[in-house]
Amino acid sequence: MVFPLLDRDSELVALQRAADRAAAGQGGVVVVAGGPGAGKSRLLDEARALSHRAGLQVLSARGVELEHEHPYGIVRQLFEAALLGPEQAPWLVGPAAAASTVFTPETEQEAAPFATLGGLRWLTANAAAEGPLALLVDDLHWADPPSLHFLHYLVRRLDGLAVLLVLGGRPGAADELGEAATSILRPAPLGPDAVVQLTRELLETRPSERFAASCRRATGGNPLLLVELLRALRAEGVVPDDAHVDVIDHIGPSAVARIVLVRLRHLPGDALPVAHAIAVLGTGVVTSLVAELAELEEAAVVEAVASLVEADVIDARPPLGFVHPIVRDAVYREVAPDGRDRSHARAAELLRARAAAPDQVGAHLLLAAPRGLRWAVDTLRAAADDAARRGAVETAVTFLRRALAERPTDADVELLLRVGLTEAAVDPGAAVAHLDAARRAARDPGSRARVGELVARLLVFTDPPAAIAAARQARAELPAGGSPASLLALERYAGRFSGIAAAPDPAPEPGSAGGRTLMAVQAWDRALNGGSAEECVALAAGALRLDEPAATQEVVDRTPLLTAMIASTVLLFADDPRAQGFWDAWHAEAVRAGRAQAIIAGHVWQGWTQLRLGRLADAEASLRAALEGPRAWGPGTKSPPAHALSLLAEVLLHRGDLPGARTALDRIPKEVSPDTEGVLLCRCAELRLRTTEGRYAEALGIVDVTGARLRTVVNPAWARWRSVHAEALAQLGREEEAIAAASEELELARRWGTPGPVGRALSLLGVLEDRLDLLEEAVETTRDPFARLEHAGALLALGGAVRRRRRPSAARAILRDAHDLAVACGADVVARTARDELAAAGGRPRPVAGLGAPSLTPSERRVAELAASGRGNQDIARQLHVSPKTVEVHLTTSYRKLGIRTRRELASALGEPVASEG
Ligand SMILES: Nc1ncnc2c1ncn2[C@@H]1O[C@H](COP(=O)(O)OP(=O)(O)OP(=O)(O)O)[C@@H](O)[C@H]1O
Ligand SMILES: [Mg+2]
């Protein structure tokens, strides 16, 4: 029975507006959030109808409690009919092909989860390219986790797609998605008039005022409770007048469960057991299955179902199911837990006998206690395999853990390994525990060593001491002739990373992959320990084999994340221009293979490069993208990496955003060991923040507390703190100590040898000692693309010193350069100080040219740069995870800002900021 929609005027307006916008090509997200029975599904029904009327093609899906582990269940509900039906919609072409495994997991391989997400977005884009699209998903709180990840991914990347997403669910799940929504609708309780109207509909008599008010009080205006209450009253034949108000009060403000159960108990004989069986089976219910589970004749089941339909408990329309999920829930919970356990175990058996899909059988096994059954282990593993081949890692993990529980005493090495390796992507902590159990259970030392190395790799960043222990043990078990290089590399890296005494330092071993990891670690080790940029670059380039002709692609394919990250980081802070080329190729490969962790590392790396090149707006965008977290990047990306947070804080300090820097530093996860390199970088950023805020004494306090560990940081290109410390000391009048600290940094910077840090230390020392020669040297030293920020700072310092020597016209020229460069970099703090200095010198900044490369937004610049490198629009769209239309828009705007007409002019237009007039 459908009742007229009551009290939802504003919601309908919002939905209509969103549908019209989508029909006009502009997508949006509407989230409908509310508690049980608040009227969410009803609003989604309305959304469906008005989307149809607005000319959208509508695809819909809903979460079902028992299908929580159906891999990509929601996504398949949305698209499967169109893709695999008779029409075979051609939506899996181009980059969308990466998602085909979701629908047909035919390969033997596991799908890469992040590539799958990207592919699914393209599938959505392809579908919307045929005409504006509405995707409706209800009951998000039961959606399977991989599909939920896709929705989170999609709502952040709807830009340029004619797709309306309407998502309904209970507050927790819905609100999380609501963060990125265009609007959130929260259906309110029904008002007095609506209650009167609904009562009249259901009881076919106009209720008395008191009767209606009493109904409203008993249900709080919750539509579902009202409907159920009225159904119960109708079943009892109650007349809605003042004389019968006490009947409602007698039922009281009870929940649906009680009302439904009261109704159920009035039904004849087999209705109750049949309702129970249907509730346990949940989905895909057929009469014969219900009969077997309830141990009844089929004829009896048919009869019972008829009475349940009559009583508005079971839906009249097939397939067999309840009128409302809450009614199912009430019936389900009425069975005692051990009864439910037995029923699910039996349901699993029955479904298996009928050759049902492994995940369908598995769904029931998940709800039943382990019984030590071989077939159950096999079924759960089959369900996990299927999930993994569809790219649904979290689902695979759930099934595998349950498989493990089925045989708790049997140390099955192979199963433990499988669980651990699958978990590595989503729950590294649990992965380590399972892999370690597998290692202990393994018989031959060779396997133990191999698994030990996996454990060490997983622990390198999160628990360096444990990583060292694991690597040492694996080294001890290494069979004769096996190379210890990669284990030694892990040991040394973890040691250096956490400030623990490192492993022996063997000779470089360029041949093997392990040997190359070792070279990368040695490069890093030297770089942080007082080596020169030159010698470290040689080692890092060897690790990446950059000198071998035309080997890039092969190197990229075969360089593990750790080696690539370490070696290219060294190249980066040694200002080696080859770093960019290597990283671009490596990043493209990571995108192709869909390795989220690697893509995130790429963003961090990119952000750092941009910071060093003095492109602060771009740097901020890259780092924020990296830090967006698991909702944007999929499972397994948990706490934000500390070094990325410190870089972001650094960028924001340059930009004058102190509160932003504070927020970034406050996000450092508490569980990370305070001695790790990443946290140490954050301490340096903290020191800088306090100094910038003028809290000098507190800044010195940080050095006092962390001093010993800070003093081990000797490379100012990696992390500078001595000069900041010097600034704070100077502000507190401790000039001599300040000069000593700045001089020490200068010496260390010279030892490393790149221009930026040398120039920065020179500037500071020049200011502290008020020496023009040092300031001039700083300006000369920093004429380098990797030292633009330092150059702006040096010009500012020099200009100020010249002004104070009463040479205002010379000072003005220098300060204008400082100002323009700072503006081009987006370094607002230097720009502002330069303006003040200029004013003091009796001048004004040159009018800033509004256009030119610096005026591009970060996204425009990224698109323009890719176009300049010869990429096509489709290709760019794929790499940046945006639509081709977005790419076009960005390019058009960029051409206009750059004052060019063709793609060929892009490269030179992007090269340098357009000169402003003097
Ligand atoms: N505004 C309304 N006017 C009239 N009837 C309504 C209204 N909203 C909901 N109903 C009716 O109330 C009942 C419960 O509503 P609905 O199923 O939409 O709730 P829900 O929020 O989706 O519940 P759940 O949390 O269980 O998914 C349905 O029978 C529905 O038709
Ligand atoms: Mg609902």
As a whole number of angstroms, the distance between CA 72 and CA 552 comes to: 36
Whose C-alpha lies nearest to ligand 1, atom 11? 223
What separation in Å is there between the alpha carbon of 170 and the centre of ligand 1? Answer: 13
Q: Among the atoms of ligand 1, which is closest to the Cα of residue 43?
A: 18
CATH of the domain at 123: 3.40.50.300
**In a shared domain, residues 20 and 166:** yes
Confidence (pLDDT) at 250: 67
What separation in Å is there between the alpha carbon of 444 and the centre of ligand 2? Answer: 55
Strand-pairing partners, residue 537, are none
Whose C-alpha lies nearest to ligand 1, atom 23? 37
Residue 839 lies inside a defined structural domain of this protein: yes
Residue 221 lies inside a defined structural domain of this protein: yes
Residue 43: partners with Cβ closer than 8 Å, 6 or more residues away: 8, 11, 15, 32, 168, 185, 187
CATH of the domain at 724: 1.25.40
**In a shared domain, residues 768 and 732:** no
Residue 166 lies inside a defined structural domain of this protein: yes
Tokens standing for residue 597: 């962790």
Which of 133, 160, 185 corresponds to the end of one domain? 185
Strand-pairing partners, residue 67, are none
Q: Answer yes or no: is the C-beta of 490 below 6 A from any ligand 1 atom.
A: no
Whose C-alpha lies nearest to ligand 1, atom 9? 39
As a whole number of angstroms, the distance between CA 828 and CA 656 comes to: 6
Tokens standing for residue 584: 């671009």
**In a shared domain, residues 804 and 857:** no
Query: Regarding beta strands 183-185 and 163-169, do their DSSP bridges make them parallel or antiparallel, or are they unpaired?
Result: unpaired
**Which residues span the domain enclosing 891?**
853-911
Strand-pairing partners, residue 168, are 32
**In a shared domain, residues 135 and 159:** yes
Cβ count within 10 A of residue 398: 22
Q: Answer yes or no: is the C-beta of 223 below 6 A from any ligand 1 atom.
A: yes
Q: Among the atoms of ligand 1, which is closest to the Cα of residue 198?
A: 4
Tokens standing for residue 607: 């952000």
Confidence (pLDDT) at 845: 77
Confidence (pLDDT) at 674: 67
Whose C-alpha lies nearest to ligand 1, atom 4? 5
What separation in Å is there between the alpha carbon of 5 and the centre of ligand 1? Answer: 9
Cβ count within 10 A of residue 743: 17
**In a shared domain, residues 21 and 155:** yes
Mutate to test the pocket of ligand 1, among 224, 231, 256, 326 (most ligand atoms within 8 A of CB): 224
- E strand or H helix at 394: helix 393-406
Low-confidence ranges of the chain (pLDDT < 50): 850, 912-918
Confidence (pLDDT) at 915: 38
Whose C-alpha lies nearest to ligand 1, atom 25? 36
Which of 207, 234, 254 corresponds to the end of one domain? 254
- Where do the DSSP E strands lie in 328-463? none
Residue 674 lies inside a defined structural domain of this protein: yes
Whose C-alpha lies nearest to ligand 1, atom 16? 39
Sheet holding 28-33, edge to edge: 57-62, 133-138, 163-169, 28-33, 183-185
Whose C-alpha lies nearest to ligand 1, atom 6? 223
* DSSP for 322-381, written as a single string: BSSHHHHHHHHHHS-HHHHHHHHHHHHHHHHHTT--HHHHHHHHHTS-----HHHHHHHH
Q: Answer yes or no: is the C-beta of 103 below 6 A from any ligand 1 atom.
A: no
Residue 323 lies inside a defined structural domain of this protein: no
**In a shared domain, residues 821 and 711:** no
Under a CB-based contact definition with an 8 Å cutoff, are residues 594 and 118 in contact?
A: yes
- Is residue 261 left, alpha or beta, with left meaning phi > 0 and alpha meaning psi from -120 to 50? alpha
**In a shared domain, residues 828 and 872:** no
Residue 420 lies inside a defined structural domain of this protein: no
Q: Answer yes or no: is the C-beta of 491 below 6 A from any ligand 1 atom.
A: no
**In a shared domain, residues 86 and 104:** yes
pLDDT tens by residue, 719-770: 888 999 999 999 999 999 999 999 999 999 999 999 999 999 999 999 999 9
Q: Answer yes or no: is the C-beta of 40 below 6 A from any ligand 1 atom.
A: yes
Confidence (pLDDT) at 509: 64
| 3-state DSSP of 112-146 | CHHHHHHHHHHHHHHHHHCCCEEEEEECHHHCCHH
Number of domains making up the chain: 5
Confidence (pLDDT) at 556: 57
Q: Among the atoms of ligand 1, which is closest to the Cα of residue 170?
A: 25
Confidence (pLDDT) at 554: 58
As a whole number of angstroms, the distance between CA 508 and CA 511 comes to: 9
Residue 317 lies inside a defined structural domain of this protein: no
Confidence (pLDDT) at 464: 80
CATH of the domain at 862: 1.10.10.10
Confidence (pLDDT) at 324: 84
**In a shared domain, residues 728 and 760:** no
**In a shared domain, residues 51 and 147:** yes
Task: Give the ligand whose atoms come closest to the C-alpha of residue 222.
Answer: 1
What's the chain's Rg over C-alpha atoms?
A: 33
**In a shared domain, residues 770 and 883:** no
Q: Answer yes or no: is the C-beta of 325 below 6 A from any ligand 1 atom.
A: yes
**In a shared domain, residues 163 and 15:** yes
Closest to 812 in 3D by CA, of 830, 795, 792, 825: 795
Which of 233, 254, 275 corresponds to the end of one domain? 254
In Å, how far are 532, 656, 742, 773, 827 from 833, measured between CA atoms?
34, 11, 22, 22, 10
Q: Answer yes or no: is the C-beta of 42 below 6 A from any ligand 1 atom.
A: yes
DSSP 668: S
Q: Answer yes or no: is the C-beta of 579 below 6 A from any ligand 1 atom.
A: no
Residue 216 lies inside a defined structural domain of this protein: yes
Strand-pairing partners, residue 61, are 137
